[in-house]
């Protein structure tokens, strides 16, 4: 399984091979980035009007940094591997290719997905740096960077494992689109794309802040905004580790039972 002997050199070589593939489709990556950019830009523009109309629930520099960082988080941390796992590998039967190879399916998919995230995240970083040149908004102090790096790393691992489990649900479901749609709807609200989770109404806020999706996308953004104390950062890291362990255990369970159901010719 994914915790088998991990040969880092092999993984690096495979990662570089998949990076070549992702680079061939750089325009596709740019389009994905523009999707994330335009959605965040739309909400930011809305908030600009709301804040200027003296709604004191938020301030403009905070809104700007939030949505800019959300663009990067959406590109870098929001994994999209579940559709390939469900539609191509399981439903079309391409999983056979991976099962007959002496390499963990989890790590192959990891290497496949990461280059796309890096390329799109790079576009986001360029936008952030450009914005910083023209506009001042709050960001975390350099002393907090090591914690933030950990939060981003764990956020990615959590996002990836979670999405792999979502994709593997196709072992049991004949029409994956329903699961996919449901997951997308939930992420839209609970990742904080529309507005910060702290601005959600009462009960919904508590559920969202405690959930796994917030720990993938939302908390890395809040951490980078510099809105958390060191203790707060440690709490987030601790929660992420717990979620990762839970999802790794769940992945193992789902993978083993799913494989037993899998018919090599696909559904």
Partner 1 sequence: MFRYLRIYKKLLGLNFANVTAYRANFVNSIIASVGWGFISLYSIYLLTNNINTAYGWSRQEILLFNGLYGMIIGVFHMLISVNMRRFSRVIHLGDLDLILTKPIDSQFALSFWLVDFTIILRILMAGCYTLWFINILGIAVTFVQMLSVITIAFFSLVLLYSLWYSTLSVLIWDSSLSNLVLLLYSFESFARFPREVAQQLINVLFFILLPITLIINTPAHILMGKFTWVEIIRLLVLSTFFFYLSRRIWRFALRYYASASS
Partner 2 sequence: MVISVSHLKKYYRVHRKEPGFMGSIRSLFTRTFDTVHAVDDISFEVGQGELVGFIGPNGAGKTTTLKCLSGLLYPTSGKVSVLGYTPFDRKNAFLKQIALVMGQKNQLWWDLPAVETFLLNKEIYEIPDTEYHKTLKELVELLDVSDLLKVQVRKLSLGERMKMEIIAALLHSPKVLFLDEPTIGLDVVMQKKMRDFIQNYNTFHNSTILLTSHYMEDVRQLAKRVVIIDHGSIVYDGKLEKLVAKFAKYKVLSIVLDTYVTPVAFQEIGELVEYNFPKAVIRVARNASNVAAAQLLQKFPVDDLNIEEPDIEEVIRDVFAKNKYA
Query: Is 207 a residue that touches partner 1 (CB under 8 A)?
Result: no
Query: Is 202 a residue that touches partner 1 (CB under 8 A)?
Result: no
CA dihedral of 43, 46, 48, 54, whole degrees rounded to 10? -130
Query: Is 20 a residue that touches partner 1 (CB under 8 A)?
Result: no
Query: Is 194 a residue that touches partner 1 (CB under 8 A)?
Result: yes
Query: Is 185 a residue that touches partner 1 (CB under 8 A)?
Result: yes
The helices-and-strands tally (H runs, E runs) of the chain is: 12, 0
Task: Decide whether 74 or 115 has the Cβ nearer to partner 2.
Answer: 115
C-beta atoms surrounding 139 within 10 Å: 16
From partner 1, partner 2, none, interface partner of 230 (C-beta below 5 to 8 A by class): none
Task: Decide whether 19 or 96 has the Cβ nearer to partner 2.
Answer: 19
Query: Is 42 a residue that touches partner 1 (CB under 8 A)?
Result: yes
Query: Is 27 a residue that touches partner 1 (CB under 8 A)?
Result: yes
Q: How far is the CB of 224 from partner 1 (least distance, A)?
A: 22
Task: Decide whether 23 or 31 has the Cβ nearer to partner 2.
Answer: 23
247 class by beta-carbon count within 10 Å (0-12 exposed, 13-18 middle, 19+ buried): buried
CA angle 137, 143, 149 (to 5 degrees): 85
Instruction: Read off the tokens for 57.
Output: 């629930």
How many angstroms separate the CA atoms of 194 and 67, rounded? 9
Q: How far is the CB of 67 from partner 2 (least distance, A)?
A: 29
How many angstroms separate the CA atoms of 207 and 191, rounded? 12
Half-sphere exposure of 37 (CA within 13 A, CB side): 16
Query: Is 35 a residue that touches partner 1 (CB under 8 A)?
Result: yes
Nearest-CA neighbor of 118 among 153, 82, 89, 88? 153
Task: Decide whether 63 or 151 has the Cβ nearer to partner 1.
Answer: 63
Q: Give the interface with partner 1 as residue ranges (CB under 8 A).
A: 25, 27-28, 31-32, 34-35, 38-39, 41-43, 45-46, 48-50, 53, 55, 57-58, 174-175, 177-178, 181-182, 185, 188-189, 194-195, 199-201
């Amino acid at each position: 399984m994914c915790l088998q002997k991990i040969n880092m050199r092999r993984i690096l070589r495979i990662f570089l091979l998949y990076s070549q593939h992702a680079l061939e489709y750089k325009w596709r990556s740019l389009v994905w980035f523009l999707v994330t950019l335009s959605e965040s830009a739309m909400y930011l523009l809305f908030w600009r009007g709301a804040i200027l109309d003296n709604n004191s629930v938020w301030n403009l520099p905070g809104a700007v940094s939030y949505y800019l960082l959300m663009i990067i988080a959406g590109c870098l941390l929001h994994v999209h591997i579940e559709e390939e796992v469900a539609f191509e590998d399981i439903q079309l039967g391409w999983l056979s290719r991976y099962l007959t190879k002496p390499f963990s399916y989890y790590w192959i998919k990891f290497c496949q997905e990461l280059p796309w995230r890096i390329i799109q995240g790079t576009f986001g970083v360029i936008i952030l740096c450009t914005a910083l040149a023209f506009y001042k908004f709050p960001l975390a102090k350099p002393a907090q960077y090591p914690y933030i790096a950990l939060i981003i790393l764990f956020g990615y691992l959590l996002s990836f494992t979670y999405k792999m489990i979502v994709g593997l649900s196709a072992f049991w479901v004949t029409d994956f689109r329903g699961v996919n749609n449901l997951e997308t709807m939930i992420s839209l609200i609970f990742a904080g794309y529309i507005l910060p989770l702290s601005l959600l109404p009462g009960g919904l806020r508590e559920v969202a802040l405690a959930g796994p999706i917030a720990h993938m996308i939302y908390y890395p953004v809040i951490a980078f905004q510099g809105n958390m104390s060191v203790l707060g950062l440690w709490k987030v890291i601790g929660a992420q580790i717990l979620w990762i362990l839970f999802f790794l255990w769940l992945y193992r369970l789902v993978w083993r039972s799913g494989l037993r159901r899998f018919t090599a010719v696909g559904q």
